[in-house]
Amino acid sequence: MAAVRLTLFPVTATPPSSLCSFNPLSRCPHLAYLSSSSSYSSSSLSGVFRATTRRLVFATRSKSVATMAASQEFTGNLKREVEKLFDASLRLTVPDGTSVETEVAASLPGKPGDYQCNNAMGLWSVIKGKGTQFRGPPAVGQAISKNLPASEMVETCSVAGPGFVNLVLSSKWMAKSIEKMLIDGIDTWAPSLPVKRAVVDFSSPNIAKEMHVGHLRSTIIGDTLARMLEYSKVEVLRRNHVGDWGTQFGMLIEYLFEKFPDTESVTETAIGDLQTFYKESKTKFDSDPDFKEKAQKAVVRLQGGDPIYRKAWAKICEISRTEFAKVYQRLKVELEEKGESFYNPFIANVIGELDSKGLIEESEGARVIFLEGFNIPLMVVKSDGGFNYASTDLTALWYRLNEEKAEWIVYVTDVGQQQHFNMFFKAARKAGWLPDSDKTYPRVDHVGFGLVLGEDGKRFRTRSSDVVRLVDLLDEAKTRSKTALIERGKDKEWTPEELDKTAEAVGYGAVKYADLKNNRLTNYTFNFDQMLSDKGNTAVYLLYAHARICSIIRKSGKDIDELKKTEKLALDHPEERALGLHLLRFAETVEEACSNLLPNVLCHYLYDLSERYTSFYSIHQVIGSPEEASRLLLCEATAVVMRKCFHLLGITPVYKI
């Protein structure tokens, strides 16, 4: 059976950039910073699949186009609905016995049509000279256009140039679809992904160390990816793979015993700054041979299950979790901790399974897995018999696949760990845990991200060259936001609680959005003045835009819920239609952001939505106009979609300014 590849221009999507390989480092971000001069390729991104197109593969069948069109129901994903129409058309246009891939993309601004198809050229290259009735790509395009099934979605369909098929949506159908969303809720527009359960592994700080700006990106990006997947009807297991096991705990426990012989009474206040406690213990470890020997023996006793040492270890972990919770509470991030210690009991059996498959070899006293394409092997057991990051990560992957039944496992760490992930992913494929194709489920993806830089272009630090504590950074964002609100006189208009909550929403939202709006693979400069500006592509601008829409609705004095039931939406003017079309593209945007694991796609959509609303509102009067009811519904639809975008980005909306 002949195979035909049919393509459409991916005119609106942003393809994922890729990563080059770096040396494997610790899961914890602060151990894996790249220098500010690091650069990385954009030629390929392993394991990330494009959502710029949806491929529908079919063989020509006898099902009638009329039957298919009649059963079509809007699912919220506009692009998918357009694909169904072209799917039906190609069943009539493509010769019998031919397999076809259908791809659809939105038209560029200013180009004819709302969606564009250029199947004709690809199809012509296959069928020419084979007795076809067509005489070139334009004729093929005309046939595709003619064979589109009748649908209330379509206003017009035309062919341009060498067979480009341009489809214009019906404004009435668009308006009805938005009205339906306002009645049934924005969740009816949620995309559907081909996976039911996913693990998102993110944040992952080390016990006994403060969370700092190095953990910011993993926590924010991971939370947004989890939110988008959850919205897309995927059960998400949010995993915090904390560094709570390893040789450093012998050092920490012995230092704890020296400072606090009665460990039962040790509290967070007694230990004080965790970072200082860690540094002091490390200094003593490096300078005092007797202490070092004690620490090494403590590791053996801890791993052997000595109850006194286990209790001291648990105390250190408990104090650390209290500190981590302060950050997660501010960011409104939910995680379930399953740290390195959780997987420790399973490691020996997993290593045994890999050994039984003939994957493990001896090398210089260590046990390793040799992998094609890598200059160094993957060490899974150290020469002293101890386990390492690779053995823990392989075990965690085995557990997530076999015990938690995850179909998609996403790891959110800095780009410096790309090689480590590439190697242990390849080892898992060699073991038969994962399919050979990185686009087949169950699948794994490493979501890498760049550095947070200071204004000097170097890694973001305090003036004393210490890393910036994340709690301090977030608190400063809130303080600056509150100061700006007070300067605008809001302390005289609002209650203290309203002022505090708004300052928190704007301050924390500004930090999140400044990170998420960038392609995660790039470095970005942390600048409070820029991120807290109320102009340009910032959270402050977007939150205020949403508040203005809410203010317009309130000032109208109309019951918006009643309007949804009794009034109709009309998209009669170009600005109204452009705004309506952008609203209807929400679901496909979320799907693209999920599929490519790129939160910035959703940020760009949100900013564009705000700009389209501004274009509409600057020209068309809402309150007191003959079209008031319709335009209030359009305002409400915009606010609803903006709020869902904010939710997916982990930002709390504000309703007045």
Residue 352 has pLDDT above 60, yes or no: yes
Least confident piece of the model among 32-41, 87-96, 243-252: 32-41
Span 37-66, average pLDDT: 35
Which pLDDT score is estimated for 271? Answer: 63
Per-range mean pLDDT, top range of 92-96, 293-297, 428-432: 428-432
Span 460-470, average pLDDT: 70
Asked if 254 contacts 294 with a C-beta cutoff of 8 angstroms, the reply is yes
Span 360-364, average pLDDT: 94
11 vs 225, residue with greater confidence: 225
Cis bond upstream, residue 442 (ω within 30):
yes
In 3D, which of 649, 595, 587 has the Cα closest to residue 198? 595
Residue 8 has pLDDT above 70, yes or no: no
- Name the band, by pLDDT with cuts 50, 70 and 90, for residue 75: confident
Residue 5 has pLDDT above 80, yes or no: no
Span 169-197, average pLDDT: 96
- Name the band, by pLDDT with cuts 50, 70 and 90, for residue 278: confident
Phi/psi at 100 (5° precision): -135, 145
Q: Give the tens place of pLDDT for each residue, 150-174.
A: 999 999 999 988 888 999 999 999 9
Query: Exposure string (b/e) for 526-541, b if CB count within 10 Å is 16 or more?
Result: bebeebbbbeebbbbb
Q: Give the tens place of pLDDT for each residue, 380-395.
A: 998 888 889 999 999 9
Which pLDDT score is estimated for 125? Answer: 74
DSSP state of 206: B
Q: Give the tens place of pLDDT for each residue, 600-624.
A: 999 999 999 999 999 999 999 999 9
- Please classify residue 507 by burial: count the beta carbons closer than 10 Å to its beta carbon, then call 0-12 exposed, 13-18 middle and 19+ buried: buried
Span 178-183, average pLDDT: 97
Report the SS3 class of residue 362: strand
Residue 203 has pLDDT above 90, yes or no: yes
Q: Give the tens place of pLDDT for each residue, 507-558.
A: 999 999 999 999 999 999 999 999 999 999 999 999 999 999 999 999 999 9
Cα 480 from Cα 225, distance rounded (Å): 28
The label of the residue with tokens 């200059």 reads 375
Cα 603 from Cα 592, distance rounded (Å): 12
Q: Give the tens place of pLDDT for each residue, 579-593.
A: 999 999 999 999 999
Asked if 104 contacts 117 with a C-beta cutoff of 8 angstroms, the reply is yes
Give the largest CA-CA distance in the chain: 92
Which pLDDT score is estimated for 48? Answer: 32
Which pLDDT score is estimated for 168? Answer: 97
Cα 522 from Cα 222, distance rounded (Å): 16
Cα 441 from Cα 443, distance rounded (Å): 5
Residue 43 has pLDDT above 80, yes or no: no
Residues of each domain in the chain carrying CATH 1.10.730.10: 470-649
Amino acid at 172: K
Residue 132 has pLDDT above 80, yes or no: no
Amino acid at 201: D
Residue 11 has pLDDT above 60, yes or no: no
Span 473-477, average pLDDT: 95
Which pLDDT score is estimated for 260? Answer: 83
CATH number of 470-649: 1.10.730.10
Span 346-354, average pLDDT: 96
Which pLDDT score is estimated for 593? Answer: 97
Which pLDDT score is estimated for 372? Answer: 95
- Please classify residue 139 by burial: count the beta carbons closer than 10 Å to its beta carbon, then call 0-12 exposed, 13-18 middle and 19+ buried: middle
Q: Give the tens place of pLDDT for each residue, 326-342.
A: 999 999 999 999 999 99
Q: Give the tens place of pLDDT for each residue, 489-501.
A: 999 999 999 999 9
CATH number of 78-169: 3.30.1360.70
Per DSSP (E only), the strands in 68-189 are 99-102, 105-106, 115-117, 154-160, 164-169
In 3D, which of 610, 420, 402 has the Cα closest to residue 23? 420
Span 624-633, average pLDDT: 98
Cα 246 from Cα 263, distance rounded (Å): 20
DSSP state of 538: S
The rounded mean pLDDT for the chain is 86
Span 280-299, average pLDDT: 93
In 3D, which of 36, 134, 43, 49 has the Cα closest to residue 452? 36
Which pLDDT score is estimated for 422? Answer: 97
Q: Give the tens place of pLDDT for each residue, 83-110.
A: 999 988 988 887 666 667 777 889 988 8
Reported pTM:
0.86
Residue 303 has pLDDT above 90, yes or no: no
Residues of each domain in the chain carrying CATH 3.30.1360.70: 78-169
